[in-house]
Structure 1
Amino acid sequence: MPNAEKDVKQAIARQINSGMMMLAITRLIGAFERRLDDTLNIRPNQLVDLDWKEIVAGLEQALRTSLEKRSETLLSAQGPISQNIDSFLSRASNFDPDDDNNVVDILMNMSVGNRMAIDPKTHQRVMRRVTLINYIYLAATFLINASPAGITEEILNHLLDAQSRLEVAWGKIEFERFKLSDLPLSAFDAPTRKALTEALGDEAVSVLDTKKDSDLSEAEVETVATVLGRRMQNGIYRHILVTTISDLWVDYLTRMDALRVSIGLEAYAQRDPLVQYKSQASEMFRVLLSEIRAGVIGRMYLYQPRRAAAPENVGKGGGNVPAAGLPVDASTDSNDSKKKRKRH
C-alpha cells in the first residue's frame, strides 16, 4: 500500500510537470509566431518529452528554417522587395541616390507589402498590408557602441533641426499668403512689425514699409519669411500648450471629483481618509504634470493645423493683415458642434 501511494504521487507529479511543460512550450511557440507573423510548423507535443536544451535547439532550428525561407522569398528576383523597388523607380523620374530624402523614400517603400489573408468577419479573402523588413535591429546595431549622452545629444540636435525646418516652411507659406493680399509691408499687424523691427532695425523697417512683396530683394524676402515663420511656430506652440493643459485639466478635475466621492471608503480598510486623500491627490497632480509634458512634446512634431478663413477685407485695402495668425487645429474642427464637458 505505501508503494501504491508513492506511485500515485509520482504519476500526478509527472502529469503536472508534463502539463506545465506543454503550456510553457505552447506559449513560447505562440510568442515566436506572433513576432514572425508566420507559423513555425512545429507542434508542442513534439518537444514536450525533451529536456530544455533539446527544446531550445528544436525551436532555434525551426526559427532558422522559417527565416531562411522568408529570405529566399523576399530577396528573389521576382520577390516583393524587387517589385517594390521597380515600382518606385518607375514612378520616380529624377531619383538621386545621393539625396537622403530619396533614399529614405525607397527604404520605406520597400519595407511594406501585401499578403493574402482571410477576413475573420466575412471569411472572404482580402489583401492585408504587412511589414516585409523591420529596420529596428539595424538601427540598434548603429547604437550598440554609442554612449547615452551621445544618443541624447544627437536626438536633441535632430529635433532642433526639425524645428528650424518647420519654421522655414511656415515662413514661406505665410509669406505666400501675404503676397495674395497685394498690400505693402506696412499692413502687417503690430506684433509682426515689432518682430521685424527687432530683426532689421527701425530704419530698415521704415524703408520696407513702402514696398510690396514684388519689390523686395531675395535677402529681404528671406528675412521677412524667417520672422513670419518664427511667429507662426511660436503661435502653434502656444496653441498646443493651451489646448493640452485645458483638456488634461478637465480630466484631472473629473478624477478629483471621483476621488472625493470614493475616499470615504478608505475608512472601511482602517485607513485615515484624509491621509489617503492627500497622498492620492498629490500623486494624481504629479501624473497630470507628466501627461502635460508628454502631450505637448508628442504634438509638437505631429501637429497638422488648418488655416483659419481670411478676413473679407483682406485684398480690398481695408485693415491690417494678421500675418502669422494662429491656425486652427484640424483635429478639433470636426467636434465644434458637439457638446463638451465644461468646468466652472
Structure 2
Amino acid sequence: MAVEATILEAEEIGSEVNPSELIRAVEAASGMRIQMSDEVVNQVRGDPYKFRGNIPQLIESGLSLRIWAGLIQAIERRVGETLDLESEMITPIDWYAAGELLRDAFSRAWDGRTERLLTEIERDLENALGRIRQVDEGVINRLLVRMSYGQRAYFDSKTHQRQSVVVARLSYVYSTARLLEGGDSTTLMERVMSHLEGARAALQQGLGRAEMARLAGSRLDQLDQRVRDTLWEAIGEEEFSEISTDSPINQLSDGLQDQIQRILGRKALSQIYRDLILFVGDRLWVEYLTRMEALRTSIGLEAYGQRDPLVQYKSRAFDMFGQLLADVRAGVVSQLFSMWATGRPSAASAPPPRKPRDKAPVEAKEAAPKKKRKKKRKRHR
C-alpha cells in the first residue's frame, strides 16, 4: 500500500517516481534497512510497477543482512574476541560460503586467544611461584582460581585514558562437563553427595578449631550446658566425673580435646544452619505475605471472567505456598556452603545515667520576689 501510494502521488503530480522516497516507504513498512544496487535504482525509475515484484526479495536480503550481523555480534560477545568480519555482504547470501567464512574467522580468533592466554598465564604463574617457598595443594587450588581471571587494558574513548578491566580467562565448567559426560546418574549423584558431605565435615572441623582456639583458656564448667551434656553422653558418666573442672581445656587429654572440638564444631555449624533457615525463610515469608495481600485485593476481578473468585483464590494461594516452600529449599541449599559464622554484635554499653540537674537555680528563681506589675489606668471616654 505504501509503495502504491507513493507511485500514485507521483503520477498525480506528473513527476517521476523518486527512488529514495519509494525505498523509504518500503523500509517504513518492513521495519528494516533495504540495500539496493544501481541496477535496481534504474529499474525503479524505468518501471515503478515492476519494482513491486522485487520487494519480497529486497526484504529477504535485508533480513539476511540483519541475521548475519547479529550472528557475528553474538559470537564475538560469547568468545570475547573480534572476528574481523564485515557485516555487509552481497545479497542473496550464500549461507554455505558464509558458514565457512565464519568458521575460518572463529578459528583464527580462537587460536590467537589461546596463544595470548597461555602467555599471560605462564607469566603470572612465574611471578606467583617466585614468591612462594613451598607449593602444596592449597597453593595450587588458589593459583587455579586466580589464573581463571586476568586483566585487559583498553582505551576509553570518553576519558581518553588507558583503563584496565578484569576479564574471565578460563571456565572450568566445560572441562568438568566433559569429565561427567556419559557417566551414570546414580554414580554422579553419589559423587556429588560424597563431595558435599566432605565439604560439610571440613567446615565443621574448621569451626571446631576456631571455637577451641577461642575457648582454650576456659574451664570445662564454663562451657555451655548443651556442650557439657553432649560430652557427657559421648564419654560416659564415669569418665566425665573424673575430669577436673579446674583445668583449662587446652590442658586436658588429646582425646578429650578432639571430642570437645567436634562437639563445638557441630554446635557452631548447627547454629549457622538455623540462622540461614531463619534468614531465608523470613525474607521469603514477607514476600509471600505481600503477594497474598495483592492477590486478595485483585481476586474480585475474576468474576468478570465468569470464574468463582473464592475457588481461584484457593487455587492460587495453594500454588503460591508450594512455590514458597520450593524457594526456601532452593535458597537454603544455594547458600549452605557459602554462609560463614559471624560473631554476634556485642551489646552496646549503656550510656551513663544522667546527673540530676542542679535545682538551686530553680529554687533561687522561685525564692526571688516577684515583681509587681503596675496596673494600667483605664481611660474614660
TM superposition score category, shorter chain reference: 0.7 to 0.9
Residue 118 of structure 1: how far off its partner (Å): 4.4
Between stretches 202-211 and 22-31, larger displacement belongs to 202-211
Matched, 1:94 2:134: yes
Contact 1:47 1:55 in 2 (8 A): no
Residue 122 of structure 1: how far off its partner (Å): 4.6
- What is the DSSP-based 3-state SS (H/G/I as helix, E as strand, rest coil) of the residue aligned with 1:305? coil
1:320-339 equivalent positions in 2, closer than 5 A: none
Q: What CA distance in whole angstroms lies between the structure 1 residues aligned with 2:82 and 2:248?
A: 67
Contact 1:167 1:233 in 2 (8 A): yes
- What is the DSSP-based 3-state SS (H/G/I as helix, E as strand, rest coil) of the residue aligned with 1:44? coil
1:1-344 equivalent positions in 2, closer than 5 A: 7-46=50-89, 48-75=91-118, 79-96=119-136, 99=137, 101-119=138-156, 122=159, 124-179=161-216, 182-210=217-245, 211-308=247-344
Q: What CA distance in whole angstroms lies between the structure 2 residues aligned with 1:257 and 1:118?
A: 51
Residue 281 of structure 1: how far off its partner (Å): 1.4
**Alpha-carbon spacing, 1:189–1:136, altered in 2? closer, same or farther (3 Å):** closer
Residue 309 of structure 1: how far off its partner (Å): 5.5
- What is the DSSP-based 3-state SS (H/G/I as helix, E as strand, rest coil) of the residue aligned with 1:114? strand
Letter matched to residue 324 of structure 2: L
Letter matched to residue 133 of structure 2: S
- 1:222-254 CA-partner distances (Å, limit 9, x unpaired): 111011111111111111112211111111001
- What is the DSSP-based 3-state SS (H/G/I as helix, E as strand, rest coil) of the residue aligned with 2:130? helix
Between stretches 8-17 and 229-238, larger displacement belongs to 8-17
Letter matched to residue 142 of structure 1: L
Contact 2:204 2:265 in 1 (8 A): yes
Residue 209 of structure 1: how far off its partner (Å): 4.3
Q: What CA distance in whole angstroms lies between the structure 1 residues aligned with 2:207 and 2:275?
A: 15
Q: What CA distance in whole angstroms lies between the structure 1 residues aligned with 2:341 and 2:91?
A: 57
Among all aligned residue pairs of Structure 1 and Structure 2, give the percentage whose two residues are the same amino acid. Answer: 34
Q: What CA distance in whole angstroms lies between the structure 2 residues aligned with 1:5 and 1:149?
A: 69
Letter matched to residue 196 of structure 1: L
Contact 2:65 2:89 in 1 (8 A): no
Contact 1:33 1:39 in 2 (8 A): yes
Normalising by structure 2, we get a TM-score of: 0.73
Contact 2:250 2:257 in 1 (8 A): no
**Alpha-carbon spacing, 1:130–1:217, altered in 2? closer, same or farther (3 Å):** same
Residue 70 of structure 1: how far off its partner (Å): 1.4
Give the gaps of 5 or more residues in structure 1.
313-344
Residue 124 of structure 1: how far off its partner (Å): 3.7
Q: Which has the larger radius of gyration?
A: 2
Letter matched to residue 74 of structure 1: L
Residue 310 of structure 1: how far off its partner (Å): 7.0
Give the gaps of 5 or more residues in structure 2.
1-46, 349-381
Between stretches 84-93 and 6-15, larger displacement belongs to 6-15
Residue 174 of structure 1: how far off its partner (Å): 0.8
Q: What CA distance in whole angstroms lies between the structure 2 residues aligned with 1:31 and 1:257?
A: 42
Q: What CA distance in whole angstroms lies between the structure 2 residues aligned with 1:274 and 1:120?
A: 60
Residue 120 of structure 1: how far off its partner (Å): 7.5
- 1:85-129 CA-partner distances (Å, limit 9, x unpaired): 112102222114xx3x33222222222211113458756431101
Residue 13 of structure 1: how far off its partner (Å): 1.1
**Alpha-carbon spacing, 1:48–1:204, altered in 2? closer, same or farther (3 Å):** farther
Contact 1:84 1:109 in 2 (8 A): no
Residue 304 of structure 1: how far off its partner (Å): 2.3
Letter matched to residue 121 of structure 2: I
Does 1 or 2 have the higher relative contact order (CA < 8 Å, sep 6+)? 1
